[in-house]
Chains A and B, each alone.
Chain A
């Protein structure tokens, strides 16, 4: 279990993160979500013991990250930001080097490295020099080195950044397959990633945690309203006032009046009530033409924007 309490990191007088606290239980996959510069990488570096916090402390598996640094590092797999690798080394040689540093015993090293290369799908490039590999493969090598030594905890800083969509899906699948027996923290600023791979999301903005929940709960909690978007042929004001009379409707906005008396309306309602039927009826009963109607629930994307942008 990872326990961060009141982490603050200041560079000069500027705080990169402030009072960041969270607990991560064994077996969880937690997504650290935030815009660039929110303090994700700083937090990760503190978690791995690369830099100390100005105040606060981190415990991983009951051990303090700074007092028992070596012991913690043994249990930790870390992929730093931008996937730094020794570009001049061959994949297998590199992984064996990492295995030696991770104190994997000499007789088990070859086997262990082969197994991890298979898991990460890089056994076909084992003899290649890392700098000749594509971005996707480099990323896999980065994840592979984090997996060396079977760490209980994996910390991945933006594991899918810069990859093409196919590679992103592959890396996601890989992370999901690892989730079975590991506690994983991954940071990202890509939203679908979180809803697809993580059991919990921590949203961080300007160095502070602004929300923390499962992806589903976040959606539910923050999107108390559902929106229905309508395009109707008819007089705007009149339609708007008629629709307001329907029970369950919270408010009606006229989005824009298009040419030739078309009106776009946004109708907000409670989330758990579906008012589309009533809306359609109301429009038709008044002899207006209903051209389009769709329901929108606030997605993670909007929640994220809502939480991380200042009004």
Chain B
């Protein structure tokens, strides 16, 4: 058998431990799937695979145990899937009948967002789709995730770019009855940004993280929702050498700025990547260029908006897995 493994993998098919079998990886940007596409997954798994499908950590599907010779035929079958989930949201695919044109840039994942969740401050799937439109197809190994609130259920802190919704709470003192539900709750579950002054609530903007808890707790509608903004955390990763949580890069950034930033990431990678490696993870590029270069290039041409702030430094929490120091 002869196959070009690099082409196969770029086409979103895996090289697997079984020499004759591949595995198909399907993207679901934003993690929300019209169920009309499920029968197609079932059909491919039953006709070509082993009747099973794996639900990936990145909210996609992997259909295992497919003989390599069926790749071409299945790529054609996939057209409705790619039309619905990629082309219809504005992703440019030149030849949908040839399957996925790239696999390096991973599926953009999102928590369930304000379609369902009471905490989410915005529609996470909609933003994930807008990001997909900008970053796909692309080869660099990039992981982006979107979450509706600082609870970060989708674990954006393990991503190269993690986007966390923020809402600016608006306070109408006239409607406030001093029940203190917001103050007590903010101190308990959030950051203690609220206090009572003269029976009304004072918000310390330097502490407020825009979680929207005050709005949820307010019985009178004294707290309501203002603009939607985003905290952007960057360069989180798992991996062999130095797993770490993504560090806060921007806060109170506007939607357009976030999208532009995702675009700029690819220019930054292109400029600094170590081409001697088969692939280099962008986090390691940052380790080499340093934060000032990263910040300058990421923010090139970005209108941050009047409320946005940029981090003075990246405060990573992680560890270097130095076995000699740790265990010897």
**Chain B associates with chain A:** no
